[in-house]
Amino acid sequence: MSSTNTNASELIQDRITQAIQKKESLRIAGGNSKSFYGERVTESTVSTAEHSGIINYEPTELVITVKSGTTLNNIEALLNQNQQMLGFEPPHFSDSATIGGTIACNFSGPRRAAAGSARDFVLGIKMINGNAEQLSFGGEVMKNVAGYDSSRLLCGSMGSLGVLLECSLKTLPKPEAELSLTFDTDEPSAIQRMRDWARKPIPITASCYHNGQLSIRLSSTEQALKKIRTTLGGDMLENDEQYWKSVREQTISFFDTEFPLWRLSLSPNAAPYSSESLIEWNGAQRWITGNLSSSDIQKYAKANGGHATLFKQGQEKIDFFQTIDPALAKIHENLKQAFDPHNIFISPLIQP
């Protein structure tokens, strides 16, 4: 399979060259499914939507290479034909969601704690930097590299370093069988259970606590799952596939809020925060909403070995930007200067 527009990458490159000449800033967009994330930016858009298609797929090697504008729906449909999947279970938020935007945001879903993040599945990328140059990093096979793998710098960069053109990813076989269990419990007990289970050889591939109910997904063989269910107890979660999709896509009631939505990455040992929350990833990812102080939330996250990100604005505008350590800020500045010396690319999460 290949893109219907073989010149899409050249058009993107030309657009960046024009921006350099005009000293113009650009916002990168694919399917625009994540436009809610970060500050609103009004700069001109360079789109990757037409740069789409499967470049190479080797089911026996568990590797797929795609153009950045390829939708997640198309990729997952192809992988499903071979009983394979994207191991980091990325959220879509829209049928228009592309792999380029997913990698740029480094978004991962419920399976992340068991399988790894989007960054962990990237083998190689091709990009256009702020000098309108095409660069390639990594490849299509697993190998040892000297130093940091530059291809993974694009993961979570939010388009601030360049335009992602192509991406090679590891895929995973789908589990032979899955089942989900629920337990009625309070938040401290749920956190303790997730911590205890994470230390044991239990094939938990998703966990979620909200509103007095802890749910887990188990992935293994039919025989193993029967034995594990007897050991753990709990009730069977009906329509579990739809449930985990609703957690992934944030369509359950918790996320339907007029208040700001905070995403916290912190130690699984952290005590509950004094507000309504939803907990994933064995306690390591927590969603918090309500009429809360941003400084208090960030202090709580820092005190528990993590950080807080404002994922969605509420009705009242809150500053997205957080103060980072000066040494880390210097690294950010150096990377930005190396990849985008003309400051062409504007990210919704990074101040210009």
Residue 319 has pLDDT above 60, yes or no: no
* Model confidence, pTM: 0.90
Cα torsion through 164, 77, 177, 179, rounded to 10? 80
* Cβ-contact 269, 315 below 8 angstroms: no
pLDDT at 321: 53
Which of 218, 210, 212, 208 minimizes the C-alpha distance to 180? 218
pLDDT (average), residues 215-237 = 96
pLDDT (average), residues 82-96 = 97
How many other CB atoms are there within 10 angstroms of residue 74's CB atom?
A: 16
Higher local confidence (pLDDT), 314 or 168: 168
Q: Which of 21-30, 165-174, 233-242 has the lowest mean pLDDT?
A: 21-30
* Burial tier of 312 (Cβ tally within 10 Å: 0-12, 13-18, 19+): middle
pLDDT for 93-151, tens place per residue?
999 999 999 999 999 999 999 999 999 999 999 999 999 999 999 877 655 455 567 88
Average confidence score pLDDT of the chain: 89
Residue 61 has pLDDT above 60, yes or no: yes
